[in-house]
């Protein structure tokens, strides 16, 4: 029996993959006749789409769950769902820890939400974490934005970075076919979307699990080929992709990005550490010299490219000198943004079992020093936008000032300017930048720009 009234709330933790999955699961719930409820306390289906990349992400989920489990004792008609990466990692154990749960479902099962909920409404407690082939999805996702959309191109990750839980919880790589990706983009364009971000944990691995190779032995389907294949979808003005792995960031890809006008000048290429021994222990498969070469090459073909990255401090055995190599890399490159984290030992990962773990104090101290440097460097880098004219794709009204709209530069800087969202949403506007802050800009519209 379906509960009434049918109101759902989804809380999403973690990366863009989880955000994309949440949008699809919300679409499935809409299709089942449920309505989105802003207040989780008033919803009778509450779904947590969880992340386990670091211990603090995992612990956050348990504190949220504790509150809802209490509520369930007062209102047994409440349906509680844990989806995503904690669900996959913990499986049945989650039911022992939180017996009030109705459904535990791994990320591969997101598209099966209706089927799984029907089993729950029939009276079962359900755990769905077995590896499966991810089917093409026919539901219409409920997307957060009306202008920019995520499109999954590859699920899973076959790398084995020694600190990382993702391969355990997201499974082996599964690429979607170029035709399915293009068809989704064409639908998005008809619905009015103007920007697409192609998504994968290791997006440069796209296609290596699909059949076919060229006479030279290269895979027939690579990210570069995919960019050429989808580039002319009419109405989609901007293309982005994430996350890139330096090991697979090829010259061919860089040249394609320089050549294809819709590919935006922003690349997210995590380096994790600036020290070669640490990179080796992490199993990353490149040196800091190679990383610098990649960035040089990107800037050779796309001089103004914005570069963002991820970094980990306090990996097991990291010495002060090795940490200084990370600081040096940040000092030298001129990043537009760096997501930093203290190393967190994760279940069933090699590095978690190593003896030379650093203390929380050392990790916290290094994190603080790295963050300080990142903030200084990012603020410096931002200055280049002063007095420039940038193309802004308008997404939303500025939530802090209804007189203003907000959008992004091609290089992914958040930008605000005065205007009417009714007229401007989805338009690309030339904006003269007048105020520069470390992570955002403010300017004045100077005219419409013609789409590429
Ligand atoms: N696939 C991407 C990112 C994966 S997870 C890549 O290969 O870079 C996002 C970021 O979380 C990682 O880039 C890394 O910086 C961080 N991360 C992953 N595992 C971690 C751990 N055990 N402790 C701290 N940070 C971690
Ligand atoms: Fe994790 Fe490495 Fe895969 Fe990225 S490439 S998801 S860090 S295993
Ligand atoms: Fe977290 Fe899972 Fe993404 S562990 S970072 S939500 S793949």
Domains 7-128 and 148-384 share a fold: no
Instruction: Point out the ligand 3 atom lying closest to the alpha carbon of residue 57.
Output: 1
Q: Binding site: what residues are annotated?
A: 15, 51, 85, 157, 161, 164
**Mutate which of 59, 241, 312 for ligand 1 pocket (most atoms within 8 A of beta carbon):** 312
Per-residue model confidence (pLDDT) at position 217: 77
Q: Where are the beta strands (DSSP E) in 176-218?
A: 195-199
Cα gap 188→237, rounded to integer Å: 12
Per the CB < 8 A criterion, the answer to whether 390 and 449 are in contact is no
Q: Binding site for [4Fe-4S] cluster: what residues are annotated?
A: 15, 51, 85, 157, 161, 164
**Ligand 1 centre from 268 Cα, in Å?**
13
The residues facing 435 across adjacent strands are 442
Average pLDDT, whole number, for the chain?
95
Question: Shortest CA distance to 109 belongs to which of 98, 120, 96?
Answer: 120
DSSP string, 79-125: EEEEEHHHHHHHTHHHHHH-TT-SEEE-GGGGGGHHHHHHHHHTT--
Q: With a 6 A CB cut-off, is 415 part of the ligand 1 pocket? A: no
**Mutate which of 25, 84, 173 for ligand 3 pocket (most atoms within 8 A of beta carbon):** 84
**Ligand 3 centre from 397 Cα, in Å?**
29
**Ligand 3 centre from 105 Cα, in Å?**
14
**Mutate which of 173, 203, 310 for ligand 1 pocket (most atoms within 8 A of beta carbon):** 310
Q: Which fold has domain 386-448?
A: OB fold (Dihydrolipoamide Acetyltransferase, E2P) (2.40.50)
- pTM: predicted TM-score of the whole model, two decimal places: 0.95
Q: With a 6 A CB cut-off, is 346 part of the ligand 1 pocket? A: yes
Per-residue model confidence (pLDDT) at position 219: 80
Task: Convert the pLDDT of each residue in 5-47 to its tens digit.
Answer: 799 999 999 999 999 999 999 999 999 999 999 999 999 999 9
Domain extents in the chain: 7-128, 148-384, 386-448
Cα gap 265→247, rounded to integer Å: 20
Measured torsion, CA atoms of residues 418, 422, 426, 427, in degrees rounded to the nearest 10: -60
Instruction: Point out the ligand 1 atom lying closest to the alpha carbon of residue 344.
Output: 23
Task: Convert the pLDDT of each residue in 117-169 to its tens digit.
Answer: 999 999 999 999 998 898 887 778 999 999 999 999 999 999 999 999 999 99
Per-residue model confidence (pLDDT) at position 401: 96
The low-confidence residues of the chain, meaning pLDDT below 70, are 1-4, 449-452
**Ligand 1 centre from 250 Cα, in Å?**
21
Show the CA angle centred on residue 147, arms to residues 145 and 151, nearest 5°: 75
Q: With a 6 A CB cut-off, is 243 part of the ligand 1 pocket? A: yes
Backbone angles phi, psi at 442, to 5 degrees: -130, 145
Q: Which residues line ligand 3 (CB under 6 A)?
A: 14-15, 17-18, 51-53, 84-85, 165-166, 169-170
Domain 7-128 is classified in which CATH homologous superfamily? Methylthiotransferase, N-terminal domain (3.40.50.12160)
Instruction: Point out the ligand 2 atom lying closest to the alpha carbon of residue 167.
Output: 8
Pick the CATH number of 148-384 from 3.80.30.20, 3.90.1140.10, 3.40.720.10, 2.150.10.10: 3.80.30.20
Per-residue model confidence (pLDDT) at position 452: 47
């Amino acid at each position: 029996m379906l509960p009434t009234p049918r109101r759902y709330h989804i809380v999403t933790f973690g990366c863009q993959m989880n955000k994309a999955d949440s949008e699809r699961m919300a679409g499935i719930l809409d299709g089942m006749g449920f309505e989105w409820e802003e207040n989780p306390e008033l919803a009778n289906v509450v779904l947590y789409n969880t992340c386990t990349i670091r211990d603090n992400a995992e612990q956050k989920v348990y504190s949220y769950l504790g509150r809802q489990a209490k509520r369930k004792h007062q209102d047994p008609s409440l349906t509680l769902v844990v989806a995503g990466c904690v669900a996959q990692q913990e499986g049945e154990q989650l039911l022992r820890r939180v017996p009030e749960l109705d459904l535990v479902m791994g990320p591969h099962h997101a598209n099966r939400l209706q089927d799984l909920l029907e089993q729950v409404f029939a009276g079962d407690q359900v755990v769905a974490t077995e590896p499966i082939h991810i089917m093409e999805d026919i539901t219409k996702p409920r997307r957060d934005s009306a202008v920019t959309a995520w499109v999954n191109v590859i699920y899973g990750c076959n790398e084995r970075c020694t600190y990382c839980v993702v391969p355990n919880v997201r499974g082996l790589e599964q690429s979607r076919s170029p035709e399915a990706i293009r068809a989704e983009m064409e639908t998005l364009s008809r619905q009015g979307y103007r920007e697409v971000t192609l998504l994968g944990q290791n997006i440069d691995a796209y296609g290596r699990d699909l059949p076919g190779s060229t006479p030279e032995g290269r895979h027939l389907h690579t990210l570069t080929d995919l960019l050429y294949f989808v580039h002319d979808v009419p109405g989609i003005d901007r293309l982005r992709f994430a996350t890139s792995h330096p090991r697979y960031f090829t010259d061919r890809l860089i040249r394609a990005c320089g050549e294809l006008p819709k590919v935006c000048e922003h690349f997210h290429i995590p380096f994790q550490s600036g020290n070669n021994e640490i990179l080796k222990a992490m199993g990353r498969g490149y040196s800091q010299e190679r990383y610098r070469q990649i960035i040089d090459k990107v800037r050779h073909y796309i001089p103004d490219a914005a570069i963002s990255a991820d970094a980990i401090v306090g990996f097991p055995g990291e010495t002060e000198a090795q940490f200084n190599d990370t600081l040096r890399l940040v000092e030298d490159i001129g990043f537009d943004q760096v997501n930093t984290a203290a190393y967190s030992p994760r279940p069933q990962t090699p590095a978690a079992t190593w003896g030379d773990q650093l203390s929380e104090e050392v990790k916290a101290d290094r994190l603080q020093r790295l963050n300080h440097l990142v903030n200084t460097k990012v603020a410096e880098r931002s200055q280049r936008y002063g007095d420039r004219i940038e193309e802004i794709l308008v997404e939303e009204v500025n939530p802090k000032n209804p007189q203003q709209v907000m959008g992004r530069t091609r290089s992914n800087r958040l930008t605000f300017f005065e205007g009417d969202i009714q007229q401007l949403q989805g338009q690309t506007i030339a904006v003269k930048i007048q105020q520069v802050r470390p992570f955002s800009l403010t300017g004045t519209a100077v005219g419409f720009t013609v789409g590429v």
